[in-house]
Amino acid sequence: EKTIGLFANTLAIRVDCSSKLSFQDLLRQVRRVVLEAVACQDVPFERVVAALQPERALSHSPVFQVMMAYQNFAGMGFTRLDAIPGLQIRPIEVDQGTAKFDWTLFVEDTGRGLAGVLEYRTDLFEEGTIRRLLGHFHTLLQGVVANPCQSITALPLLAEHERRQMLVEWNAAPEEIPHRCLHEWFEEQVSRTPETVAVVFGEHALSYAELNQRANQLARILRQQGVGPKVFVGIHLERSLDMVIALWAILKAGGAYVPLDPSLPPKRLRFMIEDADLTVIITQNNHAHALSQILAATPSDEGATRPASPTLLILEPEAYRIAQEGIDNLSHTTTLDDPAYVLYTSGSTGRPKGVMVPHRGVVNYLHWAIHAYELDKGRGTLVHSSLGFDFTITSLLAPLLVGQTAVLLPEEQTMDHLVHALVTQQDWSLLKLTPSHLELLHQLLPERDLDGHIRTLVIGGEALRGEAVLPWRRRLPRTKMFNEYGPTEASVGCCVYQLPVGDPPPGMLPIGRPIPNVELYVLDRFGQPVPPGVPGELYIGGAGLAIGYNGQPALTRERFLPHPFRNDSRARVYKTGDRCRYRADGTVEFLGRLDRQVKLRGFRIELEEVESLLARHPAVQDAAVVLKDDQQPAMLVAYVVLRASLAENHHNHHQGMQTARLTPGELTNTLRDFLRQWVPEPMIPSAFVCMETLPLTSHGKINYQALPAPTDLLSQETPVFVPPRDALEWQLAKIWEEVLGRSAPIGVHENFFDVGGHSLLAVRVFSRIQQVLGYDLPVAVLFQAPTIEKLAGVLRHQGWKAPWTSLVAIQPKGSKPPFFCIHEGTGDILCYRELAQALGPDQPFYGLQPPGFDGTPPLTSVEELASHYVREIRALQREGPYFLGGWCFGIYVAFEMARQLEAMGQHVGLLVSFDTFGTALQSSQNHSASHVSLWTRLTRHAAHLCTLSLRDQLVYVRTRLTARWQGVMREMKRWVCRFCFALKKPVPQKLRRFAIAEALKIAEKQYTPQGYPGRMVFFLSRAELNPYHVWGNLVLGGIEVHDVPGGHLDMFKPPHVYVLARKLKECLERSA
């Protein structure tokens, strides 16, 4: 037809780039596919899209996102037009300003060769990335021309200088590893600082010499038991001085220690003992009986022969024999390549795997860490994690190699002890935390400046986000912060990223660069290095590698591979399974896992192990376990398919029939109890979902992406909802809902651990119970009383009663920010009731009354009152802006509260003074205490009496005696109050207001205000008052004055209060 326009049609090409193809094979395949597509070119691309119906999105085009456009202008005859006289042809490049696809490669046959232009989306790619990509394309073409017959997976992408950069330059330069084992290094330090305190636990401590001597004595006993190189010894001890002594003793004897955490399930401990073939287990009296029962149980593998039981070395009865041994250092028989410890991690085959780590790897890491983390400076380290995590090696062993002190925190309420140590003591050398602990500790620590308390903060064990570090960076501006990465198979840490000064960027933070003598390689699935920005799998080589997995040679060969870039046949690399990529500067970013291993609260979990254990239960036919980390808190969810008979009963139960053998809640508890025999608490799913079948992929494997969200099905697995029935249960329910992040209400019969709770959240629950209810309980109570009903019963049994609080909700309803008003000079807040009503139902109004009305000692300083009230209002309103007011004495406290809030970085939206301009401050500033003697007072009274008539003299004497008697009575009341305070008894009800008024008088006299950077609004009922005289120099943000009707005592009463309310409302709305 006689029309013009663009008649090009888009052809979608699908190509198989399998590893078996050579480039020539690929070229033939592409030619065939293109010819087939051209044969169907009359079909518009829009019709193809309509037939396929792909998921549409505005961010990208359907079906494909990369286009190649081949333009053969020379072959189309345009060049012949040059022969026409007077006709000139020249191309014009048009920049349309937009990219239709992620990439579009335009290739033109110019007649003299091929020329190309690459168009790309600038919101996806930087110019430097595209230039690197074009360079890699050029290298690829050169490789094709040089050898078109080779496999496409072997074709080069990196230029030689890029390859050298990634394989050599981006790995740290080798350094000499100290040629000494851990215990030899420790003994050298003992000789330098024998009298320095090495380790502290509670009120007990050991010097370096004492620790070394006691370890030598125990090591000799171990040598007598046959312990030497490549012999494994179990440590079945809680965190204590004995644990540290046992660790060094095992290493000195030549053996390797195997941590056996007493809190682990018995069957898991049994497996570890059997798998490690332990010769000796060091334990204590309080664990000996339970350990003996574990050893007497049947083997963990059914049908396996019972191995020889290890010797139990119980420290208490053996104490005398140990003390008779020599205290000198033993001869050394260990080499750097011998194992130092064996740590058990979760295994994908359903059985834990023991990672054997040699002295060489640990020595290399600690040699680097001591210098990088400056562990020779400061007061020492805090040890709060289990010995079963290599995470602990940094804070426990590193300080003992440079003469520092390791402070062991008790396992009961560890986080509380950690908070106390960080708040009360400064200059800690190092603190090492997981991101989960980082967030929890931030919530538990009081909001105060911690600058100077921690020199180095190391975060590891999980992927780290900038949002988690941000509050710590602001509280610890001078602290060095590191993101440390390293699987157990690579000796604690192999890669580190030091956070720059200032606020970190949001999102995932990089894991950095390798430490000395460690090599990192990001490779594709064919073992070839990938360019920067391209995801691949991380491989680790060098000095930090583990020996392998104890008793699992096949798994060791699978994960520890021959080194692809060295000629040394003994060199290996560890295949991590971590998906990573290089940045342009050589920094490594962690992108996730390539398998189904997950990290939860720093705990490494192979989901296949949990699935395998669930499948062992007779009620379960099939199981799938996933980590739901798209919600907070993250949790494991198990999807189970019951065996046929049980599934029918389960279905009948939900139809309202009574034939079920187990209710859903009972089934959940049964499965959870079954898992508790085998795995630690972090590996137990928080929710169980029963399904008829598990969704499958087209290949017949479980489709984990198609598993439904657990939120809609959890109600099937929980008891009948019973709401809180009294004030105590209501308070506990609110705390649980807040900590667990639940928008739906929690019933009093629901188990804390069944609704997403775990040990770290339990610490937060009891912290909130202490803050809100004023009751301090050990976290272990939650295991005996895991429901709201049971926990409330414990509190009642312990004598709990509804706690007294300073914060009183005068009018709690409304959508606006609350207004907080502080009491006047006697502690009364009832005066604000009519003002709260006059402000309307949408304005929340809270009064603050002073401590002491419950009989406890009242506070006697404005600063203490302000600090107490700030805590109270922040428990209700976590963040600003805050709206504060005070009448009479109350304005001094409100003023100090505003100062303290601003110092915390919180914004005060409005500070209001009702009819107070600071005469007390003025008089206290001008007051000079003077003592008038008794003789002087009597002389004055006599002189005055001489001027009066007899009648007036009698009235005067009676008035003075009455005043004196009232003074005596006041003094007697003071003594009664002091007596009650001294005996820690409540003040009698009739004297409580008196005690409070006296305390507030003292507070008012002693208060000296400092400058406040904000603005202050005064509502004055007397025109003669001028607040600028006293407050002008203190309120740096300016003063605003409003005149209101009524006197000092009547301004809060009708009808005057309505005028006050209208003006206050205008100020609140303007400030909001």
> β-strand 406-408 against 197-201: which pairing, if any?
parallel
Using DSSP's 3-state secondary structure scheme, residue 590 falls into strand
Q: How confident is the model at residue 776 (pLDDT cuts 50, 70, 90)?
A: low
Distance CA 118, CA 106 (A): 6
Cα distance between residue 971 and residue 441, in whole Å: 47
Cα–Cα dist 914/1050, whole Å:
12
**Using CA atoms, how far apart are residues 50 and 969, in angstroms rounded to an integer?**
95
Contact at 8 Å (CB) between 835 and 820?
no
Q: Which fold has domain 359-595?
A: Rossmann fold (3.40.50)
Tokens of 1036: 């740096």
Whether pLDDT at 452 is above 80: yes
Residue holding tokens 């120099």?
1033
Sign of the CA dihedral 463, 362, 212, 454?
A: negative
pLDDT digits (tens, 9 = 90+) for 55-67: 777 777 888 889 9
- Please, which pLDDT band fits residue 509 given cuts at 50, 70 and 90? very high
**807-924+1007-1071 falls under which CATH superfamily?**
Alpha/Beta hydrolase fold, catalytic domain (3.40.50.1820)
DSSP state of 507: S
Spell out where 443-559 has E strands.
454-460, 480-485, 495-498, 513-514, 518-523, 536-542, 548-549
Mean pLDDT (whole number) for 469-498? 93
Residue 420 has pLDDT above 90, yes or no: no
Contact 272, 354 (CB under 8 A): yes
What secondary structure does DSSP assign to 1025-1045, as a single string?
Answer: --THHHHTTTBTT-EEEEE-S
Give, rounded to a whole angstrom, the gap between the first and last alpha carbons of the chain. 69
Residue 254: its pLDDT value, please?
Answer: 96
CB 200 within 8 A of CB 383: no
C-alpha 1001/C-alpha 566 separation (Å) is: 81
CA distances from 53 to 40, 46, 50, 56, 580 (A): 19, 10, 5, 8, 33
Question: Contact at 8 Å (CB) between 859 and 868?
Answer: yes
In angstroms, the CA 180 to CA 183 distance is 8
Decide if 359-595 and 621-797 have a common fold. no
Answer CATH for 183-190+204-335 from 3.40.50.980, 3.40.50.1370, 3.40.50.300, 3.30.420.40:
3.40.50.980
Q: Please tell me the distance from the alpha carbon of residue 574 to that of residue 337, in angstroms, as a whole number.
A: 17
Model pLDDT, residue 306: 58
Structure-token pair, residue 288: 């000996």
Q: Of 94-103, 152-161, 441-450, where does mean pLDDT reach its minimum?
A: 441-450
Under a CB-based contact definition with an 8 Å cutoff, are residues 598 and 607 in contact? yes
DSSP, res 80: G
Single-letter code of the amino acid located at 760: L
Cα–Cα dist 586/412, whole Å = 43
Ramachandran region of residue 527, left (φ > 0), alpha (ψ -120 to 50) or beta?
left
**Lowest pLDDT segment from 322-326, 759-763, 797-801:** 797-801
Number of H helices and E strands in the chain, helices first, is 32, 36
Q: Does the domain spanning 23-169 belong to CATH 3.30.559.30?
A: yes
The domain ranges of the chain are 23-169, 183-190+204-335, 359-595, 621-797, 807-924+1007-1071
Task: For 795-808, give the DSSP string.
Answer: HHHTT--PPP-SEE
pLDDT at 1033 over 90: no
Residue written as token pair 């293109």: 34
pLDDT 10s digits, 518-542: 999 999 988 899 999 899 999 999 9
The tens digit of pLDDT for each residue in 894-952 reads 999 999 999 999 999 999 999 865 544 544 444 444 445 556 666 766 776 777 677 66
pLDDT at 2: 67
Residue type, 555: L
CA-to-CA distance for 592 and 693, rounded, in angstroms? 28
Contact in structure between 353 and 344 (CB atoms under 8 Å): yes
Tokens (6 digits) for 237: 């001890």
Identity of the amino acid at 412: E
Backbone φ and ψ for 137, nearest 5 degrees, come out as: -65, -40
Q: Which residues pair with 500 in a beta bridge?
A: none
Residue range 644-659: mean pLDDT, rounded: 44
CA pair distance 1007, 997, nearest whole angstrom: 15
Token digits for 113? 């060769």
Q: 954 and 1034 in contact (C-beta within 8 Å)?
A: no
Helix (H, G, I), strand (E, B) or coil at 628: strand
The pLDDT score that the predictor gives to residue 660 is 42
Contact of 911 with 894, CB cutoff 8 Å? yes
Q: How far apart are CA 355 and CA 334, in angstroms?
A: 19
Task: Count Cβ neighbours within 10 Å for each residue of 80-102 and write b for 16 or more, e otherwise.
Answer: eeeeeeeeeeeeeeeeeeeeeeb
Q: What mean pLDDT, rounded, does the chain reach?
A: 84
Q: How far apart are CA 570 and CA 360, in angstroms?
A: 15
CA distance 591 to 535: 8
pLDDT attached to residue 901: 95
Q: CA nearest 559: which of 356, 338, 336? A: 356
Q: Which of 278, 271, 285 is nearest to 242 (CA)?
A: 285
Q: What is the pLDDT of residue 86?
A: 78
Q: In this model, does residue 828 exceed pLDDT 50?
A: yes
pLDDT at 662 over 60: no
**Following DSSP, what letter does each residue of 811-850 receive, concatenated?**
E---SSPPEEEE--TT---GGGHHHHHHT-TTS-EEEE--
- Phi–psi pair at 561, nearest 5 degrees: -105, 160
- Any idea what DSSP says for residue 967? H
User: pLDDT band at 495, cuts 50/70/90?
Assistant: very high
CA dist 282 and 248 (Å) reads 12
Comparison of pLDDT for 366 and 53, the residue scoring more: 366
d(CA 387, CA 407): 14
pLDDT at 82 exceeding the cut of 70: no
Cis geometry, peptide bond prior to residue 299 (ω within 30 degrees of 0): no
Query: One-letter amino acid identity for 369?
Result: A
pLDDT for res 372: 95
- The one-letter code for the residue type at 737 is E
At 222-277, the pLDDT tens digits run 999 999 999 999 999 999 999 999 999 999 999 999 999 988 888 899 999 999 99
Q: Are 387 and 243 in contact (CB under 8 A)?
A: yes
Residues of the chain with pLDDT > 70, as a percent, come to 86
Cα angle 239, 486, 461 (rounded to 5 degrees) comes to 55
Please tell me the distance from the alpha carbon of residue 268 to that of residue 275, in angstroms, as a whole number: 10
* Cα 489 from Cα 120, distance rounded (Å): 41
Question: Which residues in 849-964 belong to E strands, given as ranges?
Answer: 882-887, 908-914
What average pLDDT does range 7-26 have in this prediction?
Answer: 82
pLDDT of residue 74: 59
Give the total residue count for the chain. 1072
Integer Cα distance of 931 and 547 in angstroms: 83
Per-residue pLDDT at 167 = 92
Helices 208-224 and 182-192, interaxial angle, to 10°? Answer: 140
Give the strands of the sheet with 103-109, arranged side by side. 66-71, 103-109, 114-120
Give the pLDDT of residue 748: 85
Closest CA to 818 of 871, 870, 884: 884
Helix, strand, or coil (residue 133): helix
Q: Which residues contact 713 (CB under 8 A, 6 or more apart)?
A: 689, 690
**Model pTM score:** 0.66
Residues 422 and 442: their CA atoms lie apart, in Å, by: 11
Tell me the CATH number for domain 621-797: 1.10.1200.10
Residue-wise pLDDT tens digits, 383-393: 999 999 888 99
Give CA–CA dist 404/410, Å, rounded: 20
Give residue 687's pLDDT. 80
